[in-house]
Amino acid sequence: MGFFSRLEARVRQIDSLLCVGLDPHVAELSSPTVEAAREFCLRLVDATADLAAAYKPNMAFFEVFGADGFRLLEQLIEAIPAGIPVILDAKRGDIASTAQAYARAAFNTLHADAITLSPYLGYDSLAPFLENPARGVFLLCKTSNPGSGDLQDLSILKLPEWRGTAGSHTIYEEVALLAHRWNVADNLGLVVGATHAGALERVRRLAPGLWILAPGVGAQGGNLESALRFGLRSDGMGLLVPVSRALSRSGDPRHAALDLHEEINWQRQMIGEQAAMPSTVAPGLTGDLAELAEALLQTGCVKFGQFTLKSGLLSPIYLDLRMLVSYPRLLDQVARAYTPILRTLSFDRLAALPYAALPIGAAVSLVGGWPMIYPRKEVKAYGTKAEIEGIYAPGERAVVIDDLATTGGSKFEAIDKLVAAGLLVIDVVVLIDRQSGAAQALAQAGYRLHSVFTLGQLLDHWERDHRVPAEQIAAVRQFLEKSAAV
Distance CA 460, CA 448 (A): 24
Cα dihedral across residues 19, 25, 29, 32: positive or negative: positive
What's the pLDDT tens digit per position in 159-197?
444 343 334 678 999 999 999 999 999 999 999 999 888
Both 224 and 298 in one domain: the answer is no
pLDDT of residue 354 exceeding 80: yes
> What is the per-residue pLDDT for 163?
42
Hey, what amino acid is at 317?
I
What's the pLDDT tens digit per position in 378-403?
765 565 567 899 999 999 999 999 99
Question: Mean pLDDT over all residues of the chain?
Answer: 88
> What is the per-residue pLDDT for 281?
40
> What is the per-residue pLDDT for 160?
44
Which of 31-40, 201-210, 215-224, 363-372 has the weakest average pLDDT? Answer: 215-224
> What is the per-residue pLDDT for 383?
57
Phi, psi for residue 318 in degrees, rounded to 5: -135, 125
* 282 assigned to some structural domain: no
Distance CA 154, CA 150 (A): 7
> What is the per-residue pLDDT for 167?
45
> What is the per-residue pLDDT for 273?
77
> What is the per-residue pLDDT for 379?
65
Q: Any idea what DSSP says for residue 279?
A: P
Strand pairing partners for 451? 430
Both 397 and 470 in one domain: the answer is yes
- Residue among 84, 212, 54, 242 nearest 139 (CA): 212
3-state secondary structure of 399: strand
> What is the per-residue pLDDT for 70?
95
What's the pLDDT tens digit per position in 282-329?
456 777 888 899 899 888 899 998 888 766 778 899 999 999 999 998
- The kind and range of the H/E element at 396 are none
Both 200 and 294 in one domain: the answer is no
Q: Which of 227, 244, 276 is the last residue of a domain?
A: 276
* 360 assigned to some structural domain: yes
The answer for 216, left when phi > 0, alpha when psi is -120 to 50, beta otherwise, is: left
Going by pLDDT thresholds of 50, 70 and 90, the confidence category of residue 278 is low
Both 248 and 297 in one domain: the answer is no
Distance CA 456, CA 201 (A): 24
What's the pLDDT tens digit per position in 426-440?
999 999 998 888 888
* 349 assigned to some structural domain: yes
What proportion of the chain, given as a percentage, has pLDDT over 90? 59
Section 141-149 average pLDDT: 91
> What is the per-residue pLDDT for 481?
82
Instruction: List C-alpha distances in Å: 229 to 197, 324, 429, 458.
Output: 9, 28, 30, 20
- Residue among 116, 117, 171 nearest 149 (CA): 171
Q: Which of 276, 308, 323 is the last residue of a domain?
A: 276
3-state secondary structure of 125: helix
Both 258 and 120 in one domain: the answer is yes
Q: Any idea what DSSP says for residue 309?
A: -
> What is the per-residue pLDDT for 358?
94
What proportion of the chain, given as a percentage, has pLDDT over 70? 93
Both 269 and 408 in one domain: the answer is no
> What is the per-residue pLDDT for 386?
75
Distance CA 42, CA 45 (A): 5
Distance CA 70, CA 143 (A): 25
Both 123 and 154 in one domain: the answer is yes
* 281 assigned to some structural domain: no
E-assigned strand segments in 275-337: 302-308, 314-319
Q: Which of 223, 243, 276 is the last residue of a domain?
A: 276
Distance CA 16, CA 328 (A): 39
Section 334-359 average pLDDT: 91
Both 201 and 350 in one domain: the answer is no
Count the domains in the chain: 2
* 22 assigned to some structural domain: yes
Instruction: List C-alpha distances in Å: 218 to 78, 209, 472.
Output: 28, 26, 30
The answer for 320, left when phi > 0, alpha when psi is -120 to 50, beta otherwise, is: beta
Distance CA 415, CA 281 (A): 37
Strand pairing partners for 401? 352, 429
Which of 53-67, 144-158, 244-258 has the weakest average pLDDT? Answer: 144-158
Q: Which of 56, 91, 310, 417 is catalytic?
A: 91
CATH number at residue 226: 3.20.20.70
Strand pairing class (388-389; 188-192)? unpaired
Which of 56-70, 74-88, 454-468 has the weakest average pLDDT? Answer: 454-468
- Residue among 108, 63, 54 nearest 90 (CA): 63
User: Are 129 and 94 a contacting pair, CB within 8 Å?
Assistant: no
> What is the per-residue pLDDT for 166?
38
> What is the per-residue pLDDT for 279?
43
Q: Is the pTM of this model over 0.75?
A: no
Both 341 and 209 in one domain: the answer is no
Section 153-163 average pLDDT: 60
- Residue among 264, 144, 130, 138 nearest 211 (CA): 138
Q: Which residues, 6+ apart, have CB-to-CB distance to 127 below 8 Å?
A: 96, 99
* 52 assigned to some structural domain: yes
> What is the per-residue pLDDT for 124?
95
163-186: buried (b, 16+ CB within 10 Å) or exposed (e) per residue?
eeeeebbbbbbbbbbbbbebbebb
Helices (H), 277-327: 287-298
User: Are 137 and 85 a contacting pair, CB within 8 Å?
Assistant: no
Going by pLDDT thresholds of 50, 70 and 90, the confidence category of residue 470 is confident
Q: Examine the residue annotation and report whether 380 is marked as an active-site residue of this protein.
A: no
> What is the per-residue pLDDT for 484?
62
Section 279-283 average pLDDT: 45
What's the pLDDT tens digit per position in 87-101?
999 999 999 999 999
- Residue among 34, 61, 19 nearest 247 (CA): 19
> What is the per-residue pLDDT for 164?
37
Distance CA 301, CA 328 (A): 13
Residue of higher predicted confidence among 167 and 125: 125
- The kind and range of the H/E element at 136 are strand 136-142
User: Are 164 and 112 a contacting pair, CB within 8 Å?
Assistant: no
Prior bond to 120 cis, omega within 30? no
Distance CA 56, CA 231 (A): 19
Max Cα-Cα span within the chain: 80
Both 472 and 383 in one domain: the answer is yes
* 164 assigned to some structural domain: yes
Q: Any idea what DSSP says for residue 120?
A: T
CATH number at residue 336: 3.40.50.2020
Domain span including residue 135 = 3-276
